[in-house]
Amino acid sequence: MGETRHTRVLIIGSGPAGYTAAVYAARAMLNPILVQGIQPGGQLTITTEVENWPGDTHVMGPDLMVRMQAHAEAMGAEVISDHIAALDLSRRPFIAQADSGTTYTADAVILATGAQAKWLGLPSEEHFKGFGVSACATCDGFFYRGKKVVVIGGGNTAVEEALFLTNFAAQVTLIHRRDRLRAEKIMQDRLFKHPKITVLWHHEVTEVLGDDNPRGVTAVRARNVNSGQTTDIPCDGFFVAIGHAPASELVKDQLELHNGGYVRVEPGSTRTSIPGVFAAGDLTDHIYRQAVTSAGMGCMAALDAEKFLAGH
Ligand code: FAD
Ligand code: NAP
The distance between the two most distant Cα atoms of the chain, rounded to a whole number of Å, is 63
114 and 281 Cβ atoms separated by less than 8 Å: yes
Cα separation, 16 vs 13, whole angstroms:
9
Per-position b or e across 49-64, b if 16+ CB within 10 A of its CB? ebeebeeeeebbbbeb
> Which residue's alpha carbon is at the smallest distance from atom 14 of ligand 2?
242
- Establish whether residue 245 lines the binding site of ligand 1, counting it when its CB lies within 6 angstroms of any ligand atom: no
Q: What is the pLDDT at residue 287?
A: 87
Q: What is the pLDDT at residue 183?
A: 96
Ligand 2 mutation pick, 177, 179, 284, max ligand atoms within 8 A of CB: 177
> Which residue's alpha carbon is at the smallest distance from atom 38 of ligand 1?
44
Q: What is the pLDDT at residue 1?
A: 67
CA angle 292, 294, 295 (to 5 degrees): 65
Tell me the angle at which helices 291-310 and 16-27 cross, rounded to the nearest 10 degrees. Answer: 40
Q: What is the pLDDT at residue 46?
A: 86
Cα separation, 123 vs 111, whole angstroms:
32
Q: What is the pLDDT at residue 259?
A: 87
Give 271's contacts (C-beta < 8 A, 6+ positions apart). 265, 278, 304
Phi, psi of 89 (to 5 degrees): -105, 15
- Establish whether residue 115 lines the binding site of ligand 1, counting it when its CB lies within 6 angstroms of any ligand atom: yes
CA 43 to centroid of ligand 1, rounded, Å: 3
The parts of the chain modelled with pLDDT lower than 70 are 1
Long-range pairs for 145-148: beta carbons < 8 A, 24 or more residues apart = 145/169, 146/170, 147/235, 147/236, 147/237, 148/172, 148/173, 148/234, 148/235, 148/236, 148/237
- Establish whether residue 15 lines the binding site of ligand 1, counting it when its CB lies within 6 angstroms of any ligand atom: yes
CA 135 to centroid of ligand 2, rounded, Å: 12
- Establish whether residue 162 lines the binding site of ligand 2, counting it when its CB lies within 6 angstroms of any ligand atom: no
From the CA of 86, the nearest ligand is 1
- Ligand 2: which atom is nearest the Cα of residue 153? 7
**Catalytic positions, written as ranges:** 136, 139-140
Our measurement of the distance from residue 14's CA atom to the centroid of its chain's CA atoms, rounded to an integer in Å, reads: 11
From the CA of 270, the nearest ligand is 1
- pLDDT per position as a tens digit, 11-69: 999 999 999 999 999 999 999 999 999 999 999 998 888 889 999 999 999 999 999 99
